[in-house]
Structure 1
């Protein structure tokens, strides 16, 4: 395969950076205003580009929103994967505890926009129903694999994995409410640890 010309490579990198900037702006507006409150005019203005230029990157508002949602999903999955890799080879309980802790950190500290966009969806068009279900399934699979392994190894004994996981996601969605702004760091750490501990109780019967 022939090497790509250096000039062409620079153009591609510049385009990727601008595209990422547009997606970041769209995500910020979605976080603050929801789908109905986001317009391409606002995205263009806040990204400091012409609306006509925006169409070179995204063909429609829905295409841009879809890119923003997928980017958020990938970032969450990457953070969870990094946390799982960092703890190394451990049992299912310890691994699940780390993943729950990381997800709470994502929702309340490192990427609170995830909670705003996914945990409390506001006025999403029907066209996003299936894509968002798919994103949620991919996210659920990260936790499901650990729980199923724990059940198989005898670490977990929950009678219904599906119900337990639904309850877990409910707890995670509420985390951004429980760990709202204003908490002292020590109180935040204690409350997050308590939430993780109680969440694990879902997977141990008796």
Structure 2
């Protein structure tokens, strides 16, 4: 037997080419085919979920910090006045550095806009929903429309009372035009849009026979002014002491006044 024989025999009995196991998809003993791919995909998915969770947490932190800045700015604007308030005042109130405040809001004007616009947008959502309901003839009578309108207006105040107060102050004092031209014009246009929709609501109510015929512009002005007046006089009388029992009593009195206003509107406007 030649010396070549045993060598050839070993090659035939062994793995042959070093790549033969790859081409034949040989799997180590005890391992199920595809296990490596499955584990690899699972690991990739876990990494993706982990990165996604980190991004979501960071986004929540950013939103939380932004909301804290907006709330602090609202308090400062109400206590010091918009013109006298500074970004440093807001930073102190928020417990953050002025650099952090500027990282979220590039100017005092943009921060003020962030304070005001959510309430304006909420009012927009409310009046547009009422108009949509009217067009679909969903109100069984004028009384239902008045109750829904007052409830939605009051909800905007109840959800963000400080921002609501600040909006009224800006409107009454003309401070909206102290903002940059772009921001001031944006807020002004949003307000005009809400008034246009509200007056269309009164016009539709008259056309559908829900309200008695009348000057819809005057009707809306009376409706809007009466609601604001009740809120303002309720706040003056309550003095906002911070005592829970007194706050609850003040809220109850406010609701009683709104209920009386509701009945007055129904008697004056609703077609019988």
Q: TM-score range by the shorter chain?
A: 0.7 to 0.9
- Residue 121 of structure 2 corresponds to 74
What is the TM-score with the length of structure 2 in the denominator? Answer: 0.60
| 1:191 lines up with 2:238 in the alignment | no
Checking the alignment, whether the CA contact within 8 Å between 2:234 and 2:254 is kept in structure 1 is yes
Confirm or deny that 1:15 pairs with 2:62: yes
Task: Choose which of 193, 203, 206 in structure 2 pairs with 1:151.
Answer: 206
Question: 2:76, 2:93 within 8 Å by CA — same for their partners in 1?
Answer: no
Out of 41, 46, 63, the position equivalent to 2:110 is 63
- The answer to whether the Cα contact below 8 Å between 2:146 and 2:262 also exists between their aligned partners in 1 is no
Q: How far off is 1:138 after superposition?
A: 4.2
Counterpart of 1:111 (choices 132, 156, 160) is 160
CA contact (8 A) 1:23 1:64 kept: yes
Change (3 A) 1:152 1:135: same
Shift of 1:115: 4.1
Cα deviation code 1:39-91 (max 9, x no counterpart): 2111111111110111111111101111111122234456778999xxxx433
Q: Is the 8 A contact 2:115 2:163 kept in 1?
A: no
Gaps of 5+ in 2: 1-47, 132-137, 239-248
Distance of aligned partners of 1:117 and 1:154 in 2 relative to their CA distance in 1, 3 Å threshold? same
Distance 1:38 1:91, change over 3 A: farther
TM-score where L is the length of structure 1: 0.76
Aligned in 2, Cα 1:32/1:95: closer, same or farther, shift over 3 Å? farther
Identify if the C-alpha distance between structure 1 residues 141 and 27 changes in structure 2 by more than 3 Å, giving closer, same or farther. Answer: farther
Q: Cα distance 1:178–1:83, how it changes in 2: closer, same or farther (>3 A)? A: farther
| Pair 44,185 (structure 1): closer, same or farther in 2 beyond 3 Å | closer
Partner of 2:40: none
Within a 5 Å distance, the mapping from 1:1-206 to structure 2 comes to 5-6=51-52, 7-77=54-124, 89-91=138-140, 93=142, 94-104=144-154, 106-107=156-157, 109-121=158-170, 122=173, 124=175, 125=178, 127=181, 129-140=184-195, 143-180=198-235, 181-182=237-238, 187-200=253-266, 203=269
Compared with structure 1, are the counterparts of its residues 34 and 19 closer, same or farther at alpha carbon in structure 2 (3 Å cutoff)?
Answer: same
Q: 1:54 to 1:186 in 2, by over 3 A?
A: closer
Q: How far is 1:161 from its partner? A: 1.4
Segments of 5+ residues of structure 1 without an aligned counterpart are none
